[in-house]
Amino acid sequence: MATAELAVAMPAVLLVLALALSALTAAVDQIRCVDAARVAVRLMARGEGEGAALAAGRAVAPKQAVLTVETGPTEVRVSVTAPAPWALRWLGADGRPSGSAVAAREDTWPEAVP
């Protein structure tokens, strides 16, 4: 009798485990998106080229993440968005991890105020 109950309960246990692992992956990807945005915006604010900053951001970002850059006369903004983990997408949840960062451009600061 115990094997029959185990056979019935096993799919539910596996589903809960898959959802828990997917939620953990989403949390880690959220942190990685924020870190990637901070790395890229920091490099661009210092005056590095956009290609080098985005390469450094992609090294930190989750796989298949999209990095977007907006530059203004006094600030730089980088946004990172990653796809949701597979189990959450399967359930129809649109909880995509994302992060953004803004920094003042240091290459446009006035030299020195007398």
What pLDDT is attached to residue 8? Answer: 82
Single-letter residue type at 13: V
The string of pLDDT tens digits covering residues 62-112 is 999 999 999 988 899 999 999 888 777 767 667 789 999 999 988 766 654
Mean pLDDT score of the chain? 86
The string of pLDDT tens digits covering residues 10-69 is 888 898 898 888 888 889 999 999 999 999 999 999 988 899 999 999 999 999 999 999
The model's pTM is 0.80
Q: Can you tell me whether residue 96 is helix, strand or coil?
A: coil
Q: What are the angstrom distances between the C-alpha of 27 and each of 19, 30, 68, 87?
A: 12, 5, 21, 13
Q: Which residue, chain included where needed, has tokens 């870190």?
A: 35
What pLDDT is attached to residue 1? Answer: 56
